[in-house]
Structure 1
Amino acid sequence: MTYSYIARQPILDRQTKTIGYELLFRDGPDNRFPDIEPELATSRLLSDHFLTAHYNTLGSCLGFVNFPYDSLINRVPTLFPAGNLVIEILEGCEPSDELLQAIKEMASAGYIIALDDFIPNAKWRPFLPYVSIIKFDIRLYSIAKAQTFMAKLKNSKIKFLAEKVETYQEFEQAKLAGFDYFQGYFFSKPELLQTKSLAPSIHTVVRLCQEIAKPEFDFVAIENLISQDLSLSFKLLSSANSSASITSQIRSFRQAVVYLGEEKLRKFVALVAIASTHDSKPEHLYTLSIQRARFCELIYQQFHHDSSSAFLTGMFSLLDSVLDQPLESILAKIPVDEEVKRALLQGEGLLGQILNLIRAYENADWSEISRISSALDLEENAICDSYTAAVKWTSDLLPA
């Protein structure tokens, strides 16, 4: 099992209350920024934390994330909820008309826009009506200079953040100058967080990229590909959950695909593709999750035509082991149908009985298999055939 690392540094208000965290990508436990492209760093951070562990990382606080130029132009931030994401425009971004249009759209959609490591420049003036926070690195741009600039915008709604605050004296000076928020070693060094990384099969990612490149969007093909990968399926539901248009619980991956629509699906696939590494391989838990999903689907088809909720139940039955989190807390973060939740958490209903059946079969618990098959009026040969078919289907599906 591989791990994903992120450093978070608190951002405080004038009363030293934490209002958010700047999230910084790390590729190992040494808490240093790796020598990789900013686009890849942002994609890995978003894929591994905002689509999986974002509630554990941020709680109810804001998450400040650096976005390179291409990510902003492609509206990648819109894959995530506007409520607690702060879009930081990196200082190296060119203040082009193309970027301005993207910022206008995202600001109007409710996203908080911040200018990172800001150095006053007339080219950024058109952006200011859409900016909520301006960050000054007080090591590069003095508190006195920043105070002069802030005075010119005292009637605006923009908040100002002092970065690299390292002493009590600097904190007091920054407060007197009019800064609203503060960040730096005086308060806290970046704290390293480690989570298990949900790495999708590179084979599936490549096929998804081929699908989204086609002029005719095939939702069924995309749904089939995503539903075969535990990492992608969990991240898809997390992404769908953040959509402002969602009004009901998700029963299947098809619903999640439709909720997102073509534009957001393309961004979603692009994000996970960039974040994926070429040595990603499904491990035992991933393989077993897919195998369970297929078994549950085959058995459920003997009772109902639409077996998508059964596939979902089997696929998510090992999420607690994959993520090292209680299943109840994981399911609270994604809009899974109540029938699926009851099956996963209490083993109740038809889906719960089928899930208990596959667990019993995996453990060779023949008395439990006999009890459940009698309760469901299933032939034991049918159970054996379904299990064999699920194993073969999984073996054929996953790349060698």
Structure 2
Amino acid sequence: MKYSYIARQPILDIQQKTVGYELLFRDGPNNTFPDIDPDIATNRLLSEHFLATHYSTIGDKLGFVNFPYQSLVNLVPTLFPKDNLVVEILESCEPTQELLFAIKKMANAGYTIALDDFIPKKEWLPFLPYTSIIKIDIRQFPLDKAKALIEKLRPHDITFLAEKVETYEEFEQAKSIGFTQFQGYFFSKPQLIRRKQIKPSFLTVVQLCKEISNPDINYDELERLFSVDVTLSYKLLTFVNSSYLIRAEIKSFKQALVYLGDDRLRKFISLVAITSTQDDKPDSLYSLSIQRARFCELILQDLDSNIEDGLGFLTGMFSLLDSLFDQPLEELVHKMPINNLVKSALVIKQGKLGDILCLVKAYESADWCSVIAIRDKLRLNDDRLAKHYDDAIKWTEDLLTIESEYHALA
């Protein structure tokens, strides 16, 4: 049986806000479709993932999708919503008149066209009036050459997107020469070499996360933790009292906690944990932390293990702390009162939790060879793994809806 895979990689703007996701589809570990025509595979995968899980996969963001030559000339992208679909022309496509006719027709119909991994050639010049975005792989086309290209094409009013931006310095340099959109993993690495002391409130949040990781939540202990931190207690009561469902004012911490219920309480504390860090981090970094937490938790539930599901949640959520605090992960983990299984997974990728974290990271980056290897090691089911990924994305989107509600009232 053939299985399909999907991963998404965030695309950020100058303010490091997420504007879209590139959706990466494959049928297996070799990133190929050995038994299926590429165009049929593209159609099937788009139908299964872009339409079936559209809202949970990209929410209200843009979805960047690669289309092979035949799919483009057959106008396959027009089968899908144009408002948040970016049609990427693969670099392997030949710039024929047939392709130009199709691109012109789609652009005139309101579809956003992007040239992927663009290398300047005169044959592409007729396509520029219908192109909204040019993606440049800065590993293949250096920034100094990109600067000259951006200047030359400025009259065309094209958005330039830098791919494979891996450091904060590259992000700053790309921004300075005219790129306004960015794709890569620079946001998940420390931006500066400095030390930021962890606030006491964050350590309290870690203890809260420990409590919500237990199958049976101890509300008395949660009440004690909230009561010792003014900032957290204020956030809790403000959030609960702002709910349109509330009929009488909540006056005690325990009353507020019980009102939220286990599921919403776990979401609220997770949100507070992630947003207790620096304000200048990309929003995709916060959402990725939460998404990893849920993905790890769901995978752990499928394993024959005596490890509590909540420890999977903590492993995923804390896996990006080094990026959030600009400190080595090992130092941060040493300061936190968390389970040793979680510490080993985070620092040395050891144990089942370590395997799960490696699997989640591989899935995010569409490293299907590693996904298959770890999947087989853990004896996981392909369909459930794909479903868990979609569920983790949806869970994260729901949580960030809570965040927007909170900020709207702040």
- With structure 2 as the length reference, what TM-score do the two structures score? 0.44
Kindly name which structure, 1 or 2, has the bigger radius of gyration based on alpha carbons.
Answer: 1
